[in-house]
Amino acid sequence: MFDTALTSTDLIFLAKGAGMTLLVTAISVVIGTILGIIFGVIRYQIGPIWAAPLTFVLDICRSIPLLIQLVLLNAFFGMVVGLRWPGLTVACIVLSLYTSAYCAEIVRGGIEAVPATTRRAARSLGMTWGQDMRQIVLPLATRVALPSWIGLALGVMKDSALVYVVQVTELLKSTQILITRLQEPLFLLLICGAFYFIISYPLARFGGYLEKRWSND
């Protein structure tokens, strides 16, 4: 018979860690998506040459491992600026920039997927650039970009496990604390995986629902 020292209090502790994972993910994805849309439109609109400085910064965010970015930014605020920002703030800043760097490419690719003839037709009807973007380009680009954005959001949720380095007790860190105390690694990691599945499955299914609905329109 299987016996465990895990208590209801420990499960509540894990649930709080899952809540922190959701909080970090939600803040980072929302801010990162807004910035990514802005950066993606800018990169597409002004062209690769004028957008080179922005592209360089975004490439840095994509190329440097997330763990190193967290450590460096935390050290920068503490040692250079002289501020001791909360770990949650540092984590959200880094993950938001990380998300925006990938989202910008998704947005740019989605806009480029809109046929040029469609945009010319919109302009020939007297639409301004803003009307063209709002009513024609972004709705069509969203259909193209949504699957990649869903994958990005799920990836950010899993990558949020690295924020333990800035003293944020999210789901995986909570699991590690219990493993150290209870010495039941396999069982606790199984529960941790179940928590990740529970919080990520609805997003994946919602994305699938939207794709199916839009494909039938």
SS (H, E, C) 60-81: HHHHCCHHHHHHHHHHHHHHHH
Selection from 202, 210, 213, 217 nearest residue 147 by Cα: 210
What pLDDT, in 10s, does the model give residues 162-216? 999 998 989 999 999 999 988 888 999 999 999 999 988 888 888 777 777 766 6
What pLDDT, in 10s, does the model give residues 5-19? 788 888 899 999 999
Give the C-alpha separation, 104 to 44, whole Å.
10
Going from the N-terminus, what domains does the chain have, and what CATH number goes with each? 8-215 (1.10.3720.10)
Residue 30: pLDDT band by 50, 70, 90 thresholds? very high
Single pTM value for the model: 0.88
Residue that has been written with the tokens 């947005």 in this structure = 107
Give the C-alpha separation, 39 to 117, whole Å.
24
